[in-house]
C-alpha cells in the first residue's frame, strides 16, 4: 500500500500539469484574496443599495467584454499550444486585437443605449457612460485574451505575478475611491483600473516580442470558425448573469442585488483557483504529448480531484470566519448567512464541471458543449424568472432558491456530460 502511495507521490511530482497548476495558483491565489478584500470594503462602504447599482455597471462591462472577445481567449490558448511559428502567432494576435477593439466599440454603443438610465444620476452624460463602458469592456476582453496567450505560451508564472500585482493595485486604489468619492467615484475609476490591469499583460507579452502590429489576418479567420460555438457558450454565462441581475434589481430591488452580488463575490472566490486552472487544463488537453485517451482521462481525473479539494478548502475557511465578515459588512448584508450552504453547493458543482468543459473544447466537441450549456442556462433563467415574477417565495427566500436552482441544473449537466464522455 505504501509503495503504491509513494509511486503516486513521485508521479505527481513529475507531472507537468501539477507543476503548472501550483505555479499558477500561488501568486494568483494571494491576488484574489486581496481582490476579495477590496470587494468587501467597497460593498461595506457603498452598502447594499448603491452596491447593487455598481454591480449592474460591472456586469454590463463584463457582458460586453465577453460578447466582444468572441471566445478567442480560449481558442488562442489551444492555437498557440499547437503552433511554433513566432511570426504567425504575432500576426494572429495583431488581427485578433483589432477585431476585439471593433466589436467592443459596437457592443458598447448597444449596451449604453439599453442601460444608461440606470447610471444617469451619477454620470449625467450618456457619451461619457459609453466611453466608460467601452474602455472597461475593451480592457477586460484584452486581459482575457492576453491571459489565454500567456497560457498557450506556458507563461504561467507571469500570469501568477500579474494576478498578484492586480490584487495589490485593486486594494490600494478602489477602496480609497469608494470611501472618499462614493458610488460616482467607483463608476468613474473602475474602467481605468481594468485598463491598468490589461497593461500588465502587455508588458509581459512585449518581452516575448510577439505583441506587434503586423499586416495580414494570420489565422484569425480559421480561429473565428473554430471559436463560433465556443464564443456562443462563453457568451451564455455573462448574458445569463446580466439578465438575472437586471431581474433581481427590477423585481426585488437594488439592495437585494447588492446582497446577491456580495454573495457571488464569495462564490467566485471559492472558484478562483479552478477558474485560473482552466487554461492550464486546456493547454495540457490540447498538447500533442497528451493526445492519447489514457493521458487525457488521467489529466481529467486529476483536475476534477484538484478542483474539488481547492474549492472545499476556501469554503471551510470562509464558513469558519464568516461571523467576523458579517460584523464587518454590517446589517444591510445580514441575509448572506442564509446563502452560505446554497452558495457552497453551487461552487462545488461548478468546480468539478470546469475540467469537463475544457475536455470537450480540446476534443473539438464545441457545438455539443454549446447546445448543452445553452439549454442549461435557458432553463435556469426561465425557472428563476417565473419564480421571481410570480413571487413563489418571499423576497428573503428568493436569493437562496436562485442558487439552489442554479446548482441543480449544473449538476444535471455535469452528470449528462460525464455519461456522454464515458460512452466514447
CA proximity to 138, closest of 174, 167, 102: 102
What is the structure's pLDDT at 5?
A: 38
Assess whether pLDDT exceeds 70 at residue 23. Answer: no
Assess whether pLDDT exceeds 90 at residue 190. Answer: yes
User: By mean pLDDT, which of 122-131, 174-183, 282-291 is the weakest?
Assistant: 282-291
Extract the C-alpha cell encoding 194. Answer: 481594468
Helices and strands counted in the chain (H then E): 13, 0
Is residue 154 a contact partner of residue 283, using CB atoms and an 8 Å limit?
Answer: yes
Q: CA quadruple 323, 329, 335, 341: dihedral positive or negative?
A: negative
Assess whether pLDDT exceeds 60 at residue 11. Answer: no
Binned at pLDDT 50, 70 and 90, residue 105 comes out as very high
Assess whether pLDDT exceeds 70 at residue 7. Answer: no
Q: Where are the alpha helices (DSSP H) in 116-219?
A: 126-152, 156-206
| Residue 109 structural domain | 2-423
Assess whether pLDDT exceeds 70 at residue 284. Answer: no
Per-residue pLDDT tens over the stretch 217-232? 657 777 777 777 777 7
Q: CA quadruple 381, 382, 387, 389: dihedral positive or negative?
A: positive
What is the structure's pLDDT at 1?
A: 41
Counted domains in the chain = 1
Residues near 299 by beta carbon (within 8 Å), at least 6 away in sequence: 17, 281, 284, 285, 290, 355
The torsion angles phi and psi of 291, rounded to 5 degrees, stand at -75, -20
d(CA 42, CA 39): 5
Assess whether pLDDT exceeds 70 at residue 422. Answer: no
Amino acid at each position: 500500500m505504501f509503495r503504491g502511495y509513494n509511486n503516486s507521490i513521485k508521479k505527481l511530482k513529475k507531472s507537468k500539469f501539477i507543476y503548472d497548476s501550483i505555479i499558477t495558483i500561488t501568486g494568483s491565489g494571494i491576488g484574489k484574496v486581496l481582490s476579495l478584500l477590496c470587494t468587501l470594503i467597497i460593498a461595506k462602504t457603498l452598502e447594499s443599495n448603491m452596491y447593487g447599482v455598481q454591480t449592474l455597471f460591472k456586469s454590463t462591462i463584463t457582458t460586453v467584454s465577453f460578447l466582444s472577445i468572441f471566445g478567442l481567449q480560449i481558442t488562442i490558448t489551444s492555437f498557440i499550444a499547437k503552433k511554433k511559428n513566432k511570426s504567425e502567432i504575432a500576426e494572429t494576435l495583431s488581427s485578433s486585437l483589432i477585431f476585439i477593439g471593433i466589436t467592443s466599440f459596437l457592443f458598447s454603443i448597444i449596451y449604453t443605449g439599453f442601460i444608461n438610465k440606470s447610471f444617469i444620476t451619477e454620470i449625467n452624460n450618456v457619451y461619457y457612460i459609453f466611453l466608460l463602458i467601452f474602455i472597461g469592456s475593451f480592457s477586460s476582453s484584452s486581459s482575457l485574451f492576453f491571459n489565454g496567450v500567456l497560457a498557450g505560451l506556458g507563461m504561467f508564472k507571469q500570469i501568477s505575478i500579474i494576478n498578484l500585482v492586480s490584487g495589490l493595485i485593486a486594494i490600494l486604489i478602489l477602496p480609497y475611491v469608494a470611501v472618499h468619492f462614493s458610488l460616482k467615484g467607483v463608476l468613474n475609476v473602475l474602467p481605468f483600473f481594468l485598463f491598468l490591469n490589461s497593461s500588465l499583460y502587455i508588458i509581459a507579452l512585449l518581452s516575448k516580442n510577439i505583441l506587434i502590429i503586423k499586416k495580414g489576418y494570420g489565422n484569425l479567420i480559421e480561429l473565428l470558425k473554430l471559436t463560433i460555438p465556443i464564443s456562443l457558450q462563453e457568451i451564455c454565462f455573462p448574458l445569463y448573469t446580466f439578465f438575472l441581475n437586471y431581474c433581481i434589481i427590477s423585481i426585488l430591488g437594488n439592495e437585494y442585488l447588492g446582497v446577491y452580488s456580495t454573495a457571488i463575490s464569495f462564490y467566485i472566490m471559492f472558484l478562483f483557483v479552478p477558474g485560473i486552472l482552466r487554461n492550464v487544463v486546456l493547454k495540457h488537453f490540447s498538447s500533442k504529448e497528451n493526445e492519447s485517451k489514457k493521458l487525457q482521462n488521467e489529466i481529467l481525473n486529476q483536475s476534477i480531484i484538484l478542483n474539488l479539494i481547492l474549492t472545499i478548502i476556501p469554503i471551510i475557511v470562509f464558513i469558519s470566519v464568516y461571523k467576523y465578515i458579517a460584523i464587518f459588512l454590517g446589517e444591510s448584508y445580514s441575509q448572506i448567512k442564509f446563502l452560505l450552504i446554497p452558495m457552497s453547493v453551487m461552487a462545488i458543482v461548478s468546480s468539478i464541471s470546469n475540467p469537463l468543459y475544457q475536455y470537450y473544447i480540446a476534443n473539438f466537441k464545441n457545438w455539443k458543449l454549446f447546445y448543452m450549456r445553452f439549454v442549461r442556462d435557458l432553463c435556469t433563467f426561465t425557472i428563476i424568472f417565473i419564480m421571481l415574477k410570480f413571487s413563489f417565495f418571499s423576497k428573503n427566500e428568493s436569493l437562496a432558491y436562485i442558487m439552489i436552482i442554479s446548482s441543480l441544473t449544473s449538476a444535471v449537466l455535469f452528470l449528462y456530460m460525464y455519461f456522454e464522455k464515458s460512452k466514447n
